[in-house]
């Protein structure tokens, strides 16, 4: 039996089934004991005190190692490596020999102060290691190996005040177009054995499809349906990440052209694969695709006396760009959440609903961008920066005769209206 009496946790062993004990009988005995505790007449059995052997106390090293080994198969490889690094390089060197009960609020604070003095980790990284410590001690608390989790005692006081990261993204249509055009140039200039990388298509899928880099690397040919059109995200970071992403017309064009030039097109083939058929590595995409495309784009923008792309642009910045485009074009936050695979609307709006710069003609430029109508014009001159006429949004006509008469009663629709595009595609 496990219960609390007189301010302490108590453990009493009743016996085994060979002694006649059953779950029902044990439950009845527990109720009797609790009644005695309420009356103040319960006393801990003397026999248990004399016969029970104290269990050896686990050190943090022992417990954390068991915790890691029991869960590492549940994590993605990147998560496993990150947690191992936090434990091996930071938590264990400090807490390894601590008994679990010796990890107090004061010791957690001392660990934090030690890391600050070392000056090797940012405040955000120190906080992540403290979060991991709290996660491990949560299990120790559940197993009643400690009286309380010190990290959970006013957790704000256990962590440092970390500066909010500067979350970059492309905030104008001309910037997205400049990046994709630069990637296209690199594709054309590449050696014959490197032209199949699909730099432009990779960056377009991130910026106009909102995929995480891991989702893009895991994407297979059967996941790309250009008839609906949508991307089936099956290998995602979270359960909410398993989703169907509606492909905007510009991305349909990019993927159609890219896949048409692929030698292999089996359903299980990775869309973005190496020459040996293996999925591309995210680090390779970051270093060989994004960075080189950003460098080329900035060269071209400088030639036109235009501002360079934002500093610190990452692969995840393109995911924010996608969500920001949808928000700027008036899509409902719930739809944006579904497209990027979020369940928390606050997270979506806080991190991804960046207001695109909407100067004169910027909304029209975004509409042209997602519909793939005039990449060249976007790549050479922003709508908001030209005195010439605004680019005409292409009108697609459905079910009409040569004279332009409407046959279905719905009339024509503009591809610039994304919500109407989705409705038309669903028919």
CATH of the domain at 84: 1.10.150.130
In terms of domains, do 207 and 267 share one?
Answer: yes
pLDDT given for residue 306 in this prediction: 86
Q: Are 396 and 378 in contact (CB under 8 A)?
A: no
Supply the CATH number for residue 183's domain: 1.10.443.10
The CA distance from 343 to 239, in Å, is 9
Q: How many residues are recorded in the chain? A: 427
Q: Are 94 and 114 in contact (CB under 8 A)?
A: yes
Pairing of strands 224-225, 413-414: unpaired
Q: Are 143 and 11 in contact (CB under 8 A)?
A: no
In terms of domains, do 183 and 272 share one?
Answer: yes
The CA distance from 344 to 18, in Å, is 52
In terms of domains, do 223 and 320 share one?
Answer: yes
pLDDT given for residue 55 in this prediction: 65
Structure tokens at 14: 């009743």
- Where a domain ends, among 330, 352, 374? 352
The CA distance from 28 to 90, in Å, is 48
pLDDT given for residue 60 in this prediction: 95
- Where a domain ends, among 158, 187, 203? 158
Alpha helices in 190-264 (DSSP H): 199-209, 213-218, 249-260
Q: How far from the centroid of its chain's Cα atoms is residue 59's Cα? A: 34
pLDDT given for residue 134 in this prediction: 95
Q: Is residue 144 part of a domain?
A: yes
The pair phi, psi for residue 413, each rounded to 5°, is -140, 155
In terms of domains, do 45 and 108 share one?
Answer: no
pLDDT given for residue 358 in this prediction: 62
In terms of domains, do 217 and 297 share one?
Answer: yes
**Half-sphere exposure of residue 131: CA atoms within 13 angstroms, side-chain side:** 9
- Enclosing domain of residue 305: 173-352
Alpha helices in 219-304 (DSSP H): 249-260, 282-284, 291-303
pLDDT given for residue 371 in this prediction: 86
Calculate ∠ Cα 163-164-168, nearest 5°.
135
Angle between helices 105-118 and 123-142 (to 10 degrees): 160
Read out DSSP for 116-143? HHHT-S-HHHHHHHHHHHHHHHHHHHHT
In terms of domains, do 191 and 335 share one?
Answer: yes
The CA distance from 154 to 129, in Å, is 17
Q: Is residue 8 part of a domain?
A: yes
Q: Is residue 362 part of a domain?
A: no
pLDDT given for residue 351 in this prediction: 58
Q: Are 168 and 222 in contact (CB under 8 A)?
A: no
In terms of domains, do 130 and 199 share one?
Answer: no
Q: Is residue 369 part of a domain?
A: no
The CA distance from 56 to 80, in Å, is 29
377: how many CB neighbours lie within 10 A of its CB?
17
Q: Is residue 120 part of a domain?
A: yes
Coil, strand or helix at 181: helix
In terms of domains, do 99 and 143 share one?
Answer: yes
Q: Is residue 35 part of a domain?
A: yes
Q: Is residue 209 part of a domain?
A: yes
In terms of domains, do 144 and 237 share one?
Answer: no
Nearest to 422 by CA among 250, 231, 173, 230: 230
Structure tokens at 367: 């509409």
pLDDT given for residue 239 in this prediction: 74
Q: Which long-range contacts (CB under 8 A, 24 or more apart) does 224-227 make?
A: 224/255, 224/259, 224/271, 226/252, 226/255, 226/256, 226/259
What is the count of structural domains for the chain? 3
Widest CA span in the chain: 101
Nearest to 133 by CA among 107, 162, 161, 114: 107
Structure tokens at 95: 């807490």
Q: Is residue 258 part of a domain?
A: yes
pLDDT given for residue 387 in this prediction: 39
Sites in the chain below the pLDDT cut of 70: 46-55, 163-166, 264, 347-360, 373-427
Tell me what percent of the chain is helix, strand and coil, each rounded to the nearest 5.
Answer: 55, 5, 35
Task: Please give the sequence-ordered ranges of beta strands (E in DSSP) within 147-288, or none if there are none.
Answer: 224-225, 230-233, 243-246
In terms of domains, do 203 and 346 share one?
Answer: yes
Using only C-alpha atoms, what is the Rg of the chain? 30
Read out DSSP for 346-412? HHIIIII-------TTHHHHHHHHHHT--HHHHHH--GGG-SSPPPPPPEE--SB-TT--BSSSS--
In terms of domains, do 245 and 321 share one?
Answer: yes
Coil, strand or helix at 417: coil
- Where a domain ends, among 135, 158, 181? 158
In terms of domains, do 203 and 306 share one?
Answer: yes
């Amino acid at each position: 039996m496990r219960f609390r009496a007189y301010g302490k946790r108590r453990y009493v062993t009743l016996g085994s089934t060979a002694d006649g004990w059953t779950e029902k009988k044990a439950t009845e005995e527990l109720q009797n004991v609790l009644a005695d505790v309420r009356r103040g007449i319960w006393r801990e059995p003397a026999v248990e005190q004399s016969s029970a052997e104290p269990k050896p106390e686990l050190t943090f090293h022992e417990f954390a190692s068991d915790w890691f080994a029991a869960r590492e198969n549940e994590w993605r490889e990147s998560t496993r490596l990150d947690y191992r690094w936090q434990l091996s390089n930071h938590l264990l060197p400090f807490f390894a020999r601590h008994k679990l009960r010796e990890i107090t609020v004061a010791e957690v604070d001392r660990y934090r102060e030690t890391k600050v003095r070392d000056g090797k980790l940012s405040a955000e990284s120190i906080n992540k290691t403290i979060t991991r410590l709290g996660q491990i001690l949560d299990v120790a608390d559940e197993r009643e190996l400690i009286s309380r989790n010190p990290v959970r005692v006013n957790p704000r006081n256990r962590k440092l005040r970390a500066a909010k990261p500067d979350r970059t993204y492309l905030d104008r249509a001309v910037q997205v177009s400049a990046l994709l055009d630069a990637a296209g140039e690199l594709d054309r200039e590449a050696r014959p054995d490197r032209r199949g990388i699909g730099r432009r298509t990779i960056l377009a899928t991130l910026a106009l499809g909102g995929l995480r880099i891991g989702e893009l690397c895991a994407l297979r040919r059967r996941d790309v349906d250009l008839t609906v059109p949508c991307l089936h995200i099956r290998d995602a970071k979270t359960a909410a990440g398993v989703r169907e992403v509606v492909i905007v017309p510009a991305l349909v064009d990019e993927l159609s052209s890219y896949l048409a030039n692929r030698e292999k097109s089996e359903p299980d083939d990775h869309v973005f694969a190496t020459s040996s058929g293996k999925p591309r590595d995210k680090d390779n995409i970051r270093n060989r695709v994004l960075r080189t495309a950003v460098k080329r784009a900035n060269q071209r923008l400088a030639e036109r006396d235009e501002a360079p792309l934002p500093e610190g642009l990452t692969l995840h910045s393109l995911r924010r760009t996608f969500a920001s485009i949808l928000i700027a074009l008036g899509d409902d936050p719930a739809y944006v959440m579904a497209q990027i695979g979020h369940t928390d609307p606050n997270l979506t709006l806080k991190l991804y609903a960046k207001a695109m710069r909407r100067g004169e003609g910027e909304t029209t430029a975004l509409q042209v961008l997602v519909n793939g109508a005039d990449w060249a014009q976007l790549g050479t001159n922003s709508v908001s920066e030209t005195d010439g006429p605004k680019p005409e949004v292409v009108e697609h006509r459905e079910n009409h005769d040569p004279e332009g008469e409407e046959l279905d009663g719905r009339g024509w629709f503009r591809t610039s209206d994304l919500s109407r595009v989705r409705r038309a595609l669903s028919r």
